[in-house]
């Protein structure tokens, strides 16, 4: 409750809000406080901000200006550039870029290899589901705070994959009967092992990164980046 | 913008900075964070941008970047996505008021469901930017009572907001 009160106080004073441990009951109060605050007058950007950001962009882009392309084939090229930006966005959206090493940390337009496993430099094992709730052949979604994903058990072992589409970073939804993970944004679908089932994107779609997973003392744990301090 | 395309990155910026900022403000509720996040959107989005794309494609791209920057912000700060950007067409097909996010109407809808004193304290504090002391004077109560009233009103407003979303 103290965290919520401090958050609201900062909000009302127009200050940055500070991190704290949030539970589900806090969430709706925070969301409502934001909705009410944003409903007030004067929510546009200040002229000073608009000008200072323009100057910043001018400085950064003049060093490496955006590339002007011929008009022909522009859509395909644009989509490729979106894919490159989206690779960065996925890291932001799922917080998988921070603290990760290996293939998972690179921001690139090229699809990562199919057997990519995310390995945080500074990770921790976090319990995501009771072992008894993950019988052979089943799949369960999880939210480990810094990562979301899906764990599954087969007769051969435990597996976990990221729950974020590798296209634009949308959250995937589990279709249990079909044993697939659907992206609500652009109708892509992945198998529960992370491989791409189908999509209609004009660019290659990378498979879902895999996560390290284990069973310990009756719970399934995944290895994920730690919560921010 | 001839041929439905932006002539340069500055035109992209000029045409979209207001909307991106307002979307961020509607989702985080404070100016410093909204400014940082809007800046992050443009820094992330403009560098790889190909200007041969249409205005609609550029706006869709900015919207996708805005959504993921916002999601990253919540995961970094609170570990949960407190607010999400769902207005898929807010950037692609903006309303006549280019900065419209529907935030005012939503706040009014929530307040309309509350008992009078709860509605009044939240109006004074959140919409009218009154201090606790000013709000207490307006309501004829002590500052301590106004504080308690505000917390209770916000809890009730959250219940209303949840019901409206359900």
Domain range list for chain A: 1-39, 118-224
Burial of A1 (0-12, 13-18, 19+ CB in 10 A): exposed
What fold characterizes domain A118-224? Answer: Rieske Iron-sulfur Protein (2.102.10)
CB atoms within 10 A of CB A154: 13
What is the distance between the alpha carbons of residues A211 and A119, in angstroms, rounded to a whole number? 7
Predicted pLDDT at A65: 52
Contacts of B50 in chain A (CB under 8 A): 66-69, 74, 77-78, 81
Write down the pTM of the prediction.
0.58
Contacts of B72 in chain A (CB under 8 A): 89, 91-93, 95
Q: Mean pLDDT in chain B?
A: 86
Single out the residue of B161, B104, B112 nearest to residue B128, CA to CA. Answer: B104
The token pair at A91 is 């890291």
- With a cut of 80, say whether residue A219 has pLDDT above it: yes
B34, B51, B122: residue with CB nearest A68: B51
Q: How far is A27 from chain B (nearest CA, A)?
A: 6
Mean pLDDT for the stretch of residues A206-212: 88
Do B28 and A34 make contact, defined as CB atoms within 8 angstroms? yes
Mean pLDDT for the stretch of residues B65-70: 92
Predicted pLDDT at A84: 36
The residue among A166 and B79 whose pLDDT is bigger is: B79
Q: How confident is the model at residue A92 (pLDDT cuts 50, 70, 90)?
A: very low
């Amino acid at each position: 409750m103290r965290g919520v009160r401090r958050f609201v106080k900062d909000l009302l004073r127009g200050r940055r809000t500070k991190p704290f441990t949030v539970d589900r009951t806090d969430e709706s109060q925070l969301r409502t406080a934001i909705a009410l605050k944003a409903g007030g007058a004067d929510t546009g950007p200040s002229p000073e901000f608009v000008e200072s950001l323009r100057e910043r962009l001018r400085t950064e882009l003049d060093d490496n200006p955006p590339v002007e392309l011929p008009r022909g084939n522009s859509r395909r090229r644009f989509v490729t550039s979106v894919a490159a930006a989206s690779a960065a966005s996925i890291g932001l959206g799922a917080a998988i870029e921070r603290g990760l090493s290996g293939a998972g940390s690179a921001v690139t337009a090229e699809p990562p290899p199919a057997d990519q496993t995310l390995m945080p430099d500074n990770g921790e094992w976090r319990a995501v589901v009771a072992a008894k709730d993950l019988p052979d052949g089943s799949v369960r979604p999880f939210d480990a705070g810094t990562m979301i994903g899906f764990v599954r058990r087969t007769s051969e072992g435990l597996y976990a994959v990221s729950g974020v589409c590798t296209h634009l970073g949308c959250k995937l939804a589990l279709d249990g009967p079909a044993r697939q993970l659907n992206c609500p944004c652009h109708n892509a679908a992945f198998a529960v092992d992370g491989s791409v089932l189908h999509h209609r994107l004009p660019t290659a779609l990378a498979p879902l990164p895999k996560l390290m997973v284990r069973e310990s003392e009756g719970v399934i744990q995944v290895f994920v980046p730690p919560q921010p301090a | 913008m001839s041929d439905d395309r932006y002539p340069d990155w500055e035109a992209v910026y000029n045409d979209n900075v207001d909307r991106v900022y307002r979307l961020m403000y509607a989702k985080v509720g404070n100016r410093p964070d909204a400014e940082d996040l809007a800046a992050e959107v443009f820094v992330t989005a403009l560098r790889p941008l190909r200007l041969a794309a249409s205005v609609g494609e550029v706006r869709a791209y900015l919207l996708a970047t805005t959504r993921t920057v916002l999601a990253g912000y919540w995961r970094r700060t609170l570990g949960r996505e407190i607010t999400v950007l769902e207005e898929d067409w807010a950037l692609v097909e903006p309303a006549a008021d280019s900065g419209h996010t529907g935030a005012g109407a939503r706040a009014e809808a929530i307040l309309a469901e509350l008992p009078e004193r709860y509605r009044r304290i939240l109006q004074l504090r959140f919409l009218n930017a009154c201090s606790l002391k000013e709000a207490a004077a307006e309501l004829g109560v002590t500052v301590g009572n106004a504080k308690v009233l505000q917390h209770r009103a916000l809890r009730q407003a959250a219940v209303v907001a949840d019901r409206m979303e359900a």
